[in-house]
Amino acid sequence: MATIATTKGTVIIGSDHGGFDLKIQIVEHLKTIGYQVHDVGCHQPERCDYPDIAALAGKATLDSSNTLQRGIVVCGSGIGISIAANKVPGVRCALLHDHYGAVMCRKHNNANMIALGGRTTGVEIAKEIVDAFLSTEFEGGRHEGRVGKIMSIC
Ligand code: RB5
């Protein structure tokens, strides 16, 4: 069993019913590798609306009291909840299906949230994605201005 001495910060997580089972497994993984987790819901696998969860998760991720500023959202496909999360000002949410995307969304896009599909992505791939998302730094440089242009679109 893993023993956690210190926390690496708090990861925000949320899902609708379509992403609930994968979310629970991701939460366990995050705790095992030393993160605290704030789950904005849903807290049972009953039907709910993914835009509500995306809004809660996006706002919690960007809350000034949250030093890590990383969020993970899960719905059935990952599509709806990623679209909705990106409506929260300041959120850059990448819909991911593989490790490469997880690395690139940090290096080039400075993503602060990721979206996964509970019906499309298996748990082991999801863990790889989460690990890369949380451990890869933004490269800055030429990407700084491009990300700035994204954020200036309204
Ligand atoms: C819920 O059935 C499903 O529509 C939702 O989880 C998500 O896949 C939407 O994009």
Name the one residue in this structure whose structure tokens are 């298996």: 122
Among the options 29, 38, 99, 108, which is catalytic?
Answer: 108
Asked whether residue 145 carries a pLDDT value surpassing 70, the answer given is yes
pLDDT-based confidence at residue 5 (cuts at 50, 70, 90) = low
26-73 confidence digits (pLDDT tens) = 999 999 999 999 999 999 999 999 999 999 999 999 999 999 999 999
Is residue 108 part of the annotated active site? The answer reads yes
Give the Å distances, CA to CA, from 53 to 6, 60, 110, 142: 28, 11, 22, 33
Output the six-digit token pair for 40. Answer: 């904005």
Ligand 1 atom at shortest distance from the alpha carbon of 80: 10
Q: Is residue 76 within 6 Å of ligand 1 at its C-beta?
A: yes
At 11, is the secondary structure helix, strand, or coil?
strand
